[in-house]
Structure 1
Amino acid sequence: MRARTNCAALLERSTPPWRLDRRESTKHCLKYRRGRGEILIVNHEGRGWWDPQSDAKGDVFDLVQHLEPRLNFGEVRKLLRRFTGIQPSFPAAAIESGRSPDLPLPIRWARRPRLRRGSPVWRYLTYARRLPPSVLESARAADVVREGPYGSVWFAHHDGRRNVTHIEIRGPDFKGSVRGGDKILFRLPGGSGPPTRFALAEAPIDALSLAALENIRADTLYAATGGGMGPKTISEIEAIVARLAPIPGSRFCSAADADPAGDRYAARHREIAAAAGVAFERLRPPVEDSDWNDMLDRGERTKP
């Protein structure tokens, strides 16, 4: 029944019905509105949903109990039988065809609000991801994190001239990126002066987590590749490391994940450091198959 009942179809046939916001919906995230301020997002091809204004989320059974808390499980099953096999009114293709042409990434970035204390995005980063306010304030000041739609977080990649070239998206139940652009590097300066230490992680949240664990070292540029390293990312890494080369005591620290893929990235980082004549250090998370956000989370959970 879970696999054959679409959350969007249920919302459209509720009383009063929910209406699809086609302008703010995508193929994979359908935004439904009802009344004054009620919003629900349907994802996972109709099998999941979440509320961007609270922590509520789940499958179609959870959706019915979210809308009708008085119903028990048997009553929920009885209600859902009426919706099994029914599809929503708007096919995904119609949503995609109705989209306006994408604006340039720098304009889309500039139109999103800056990170605000107490917002759903702030709560996600502090409670779910355990990032401390000091790191979030630094990220806001550097303008590398903004608030996306549906309670998501936008992380900007920049080129060497500070142009936004790519935007990664993370949220309580979503992982993706804004269409268009090129991955180069997400970066958070630890201080105002030229860095003497370059710490490179895979994901922006891991770079921010390492900064938190190190109390944001002023000598460090914290950065992330966003996963794999394309030619433009490698070129930018090489340019940063080349600037470190003349500085006594400079260091390239690979903070890639503690898994086989992370070790392969670290080996490539070591090669880049060696070619530039810069000291290299492997900052490997101490628990196998983990990343630096996992380590931050473990540390927070073990505090008295």
Structure 2
Amino acid sequence: MTTDQDELAELRQRVDCRTVLERGGWAMDAAESSRRAVKYRQGSGRIVIVTHEGKGWFDPLNDRRGDVIALAQHVWGGTLGHARKNLRPLAGIAPKLLPLRQGAAVVAIDGERLWNEARHLQPGSQAWDYLTEQRGLPAATVDRAAKVGALREGVHGTMWAQHQAASGRITGWEMRGPYYKGFAKGGTKSLFWLGHPPVADRLVVTESAIDAMSLGSIERWREGTLYASTGGGFGSETEAALRGFLPRHAQLVAATDQGTGGEVLAARLHDLATSCGSDFVRLVPEAKDWNAQLCPDPRGFIPSSNDGPRP
């Protein structure tokens, strides 16, 4: 005779977490997903990341995680009995692995052309003042990044921080300014970095270009270190870039933010270091992030993506 526990065990084996989210009206975020971690969103504030090839999941915004049974309760609510009822029709159904809702097609940017046409940062420009005055970065740090071509200036004093693929191709740029924060429309997050890859034996990964420059300033640009930013993403381009910049036996440092989101990214970086045969270190800021540690009382503010005109 089949018991409730027997049925739960069978459902754990036969129902994919990704299928549950698809049927629950969640949309896959292809740009922020990789083969090992598939991100789903519902509305503007709910996120679930599916791992272990559909057998596990976690919510990066809190401590919720578990198997497909727990996910059914997370998505639809109810008891274990309700979970069994909702999961029975999904047994053996493969996920589509496509976004459920598609907006207008986004045209890929011509990264090289747009980057080369953009204004350079220079002392006294709006983006320069934003970085040095509102975000507290030393002028020498901004000058260092500008001189190697890692920064440009958009409209309304917005800083552009270049992301490169492992091949060196410009894939997009982080955008931060007094009125806007976001990423280049049509671009793909890969990796922002400062340093000298051929001689680097330490790769420090942060969540934003400003944090990477802040930590570099705090450490006084430690020799042999590459300071990098994922821009808050960890898709296939980011993973490939990290692998390309990480020499075997080098040290990978997860210098991500405090909080659950930072711990989630640190865990993924730990897995990457293990697969590459590299040492791993977790470096946690005393403040919420490295820019807050460098400049505890900034004069400016960090706007939401809806504040002010888009650059």
TM-score between both structures, scaled by the size of structure 2: 0.59
Shift of 1:120: 1.3
| In 1, Cα distance between equivalents of 2:172 and 2:184 | 7
Task: Please say if 1:238 is aligned against 2:243.
Answer: yes
Deviations 1:24-54 (A, max 9, x none): xxxxxxxxxxxxxxxxxxxxxxxxxxxxxxx
| In 1, Cα distance between equivalents of 2:162 and 2:197 | 19
How many residue pairs end up in the alignment?
194
Instruction: Indicate the residue corresponding to 1:145 in structure 2.
Output: 151
8 Å contact kept, 1:200–1:223: yes
1:1-304 map, 5 Å? 104-189=110-195, 191=196, 194-241=199-246, 243-245=247-249, 250-287=250-287, 290-298=288-296
Q: Which is bigger in relative contact order (C-alpha 8 A, separation at least 6)? A: 2
Residue type matched to 2:289 in 1? Answer: D
Structure 2 segments unaligned to the other structure (5+ residues): 1-106, 300-311
Shift of 1:142: 1.6
Shift of 1:265: 0.6
Shift of 1:298: 2.2
Shift of 1:192: 7.7
CA pair 300-168 structure 1, distance change in 2 beyond 3 A = closer
| In 2, Cα distance between equivalents of 1:278 and 1:211 | 21
Shift of 1:231: 1.3
CA pair 192-105 structure 1, distance change in 2 beyond 3 A = closer
Deviations 1:204-246 (A, max 9, x none): 11001000101111211100001120112112212322x242x
Instruction: Indicate the residue corresponding to 1:19 in structure 2.
Output: none
Shift of 1:178: 2.0
| In 1, Cα distance between equivalents of 2:187 and 2:204 | 24
| In 1, Cα distance between equivalents of 2:114 and 2:274 | 38
Structure 1 segments unaligned to the other structure (5+ residues): 1-100
1:298 match: secondary structure: coil
